[in-house]
Amino acid sequence: MAAVIVDARNLLCPMPVIRTQDAVVKLQPGDSIKVLCTDPGVLHDIPAWCRVHGHEISNIEEHEHEITITVRVGQSG
């Protein structure tokens, strides 16, 4: 299983979602992506995108001004 890091820090939505989507198409179901973000909008946007596309949020961490969202790629990858 692959684990990919997407650096979307200092990008505003929808760019973190687009970068996540671009990474997902290269992965297999069960792989994971850590998305590094600074835009608080991702706390809503990435989980909503995951629900629509069949992926799963496995973890969300917030440290100071940085948000890390871990996404597990679903079958529709």
Catalytic positions, written as ranges: 13
Long-range contacts of 60-69 (CB under 8 A, 24+ apart): 65/38, 66/9, 66/36, 66/37, 66/38, 67/36, 67/37, 67/38, 67/39, 67/40, 67/42, 67/43, 68/34, 68/35, 68/36, 68/37, 69/34, 69/35, 69/37, 69/42, 69/43
